[in-house]
Copies of this chain bind each other. A is one copy, B any other.
Amino acid sequence: MPKPLNLAFDPVARAQELWRQRWDAADSMAVATSVMRVQQLLIARYDETLRGHGLTFARYEALVLLSFSRAGLPLSKIGERLMVHPTSVTNTVQRLAADGLVARSPNPRDGRGTLATITEAGRAAVRAATDDLVALDFGLTALDSDDRARLFALLRKVRAAAGDFFGTSGPDERR
Q: Chain A interface (Cβ within 8 Å of chain B)?
A: 2-13, 15, 18, 23-25, 27-32, 34-43, 45-46, 57, 64-65, 68, 80-81, 83, 130, 133-134, 137-143, 145, 147-152, 154-168, 170
| A25 in contact with B138 (CB, 8 Å) | yes
| B80 in contact with A5 (CB, 8 Å) | yes
| B25 in contact with A162 (CB, 8 Å) | no
Q: How many copies does the complex hold?
A: 2
How many angstroms from the CA of A8 to the CA of B164 in the assembled complex?
10
How many angstroms from the CA of A130 to the CA of B34 in the assembled complex?
17
How many angstroms from the CA of A56 to the CA of B128 in the assembled complex?
37
Which residues in B have their C-beta under 8 angstroms from that of A166? Answer: 6-8, 10
Instruction: Tell which of B8, B25, B68, B151 touches A31, judged by Cβ atoms closer than 8 Å.
Output: B151
Top-10 shortest CB links A-B: A4-B163, A142-B161, A34-B155, A39-B39, A28-B138, A41-B162, A7-B165, A4-B168, A32-B138, A25-B134
How many angstroms from the CA of A133 to the CA of B137 in the assembled complex?
34
A6-B166, A8-B165, A35-B42 known; 9 other A-B pairs, CB under 8 Å? A4-B162, A7-B164, A7-B165, A13-B156, A31-B152, A36-B57, A41-B164, A42-B158, A150-B154
A sample of 13 cross-chain residue pairs with beta-carbon separation below 8 angstroms, ordered by A number, consists of: A6-B168, A7-B164, A7-B165, A8-B165, A10-B166, A11-B81, A15-B64, A15-B65, A27-B149, A27-B152, A30-B148, A35-B155, A150-B154
Contacts known (A2-B83, A34-B156); A165 close to B11, Cβ less than 8 A: yes
Contacts known (A81-B11, A130-B23); A140 close to B41, Cβ less than 8 A: no
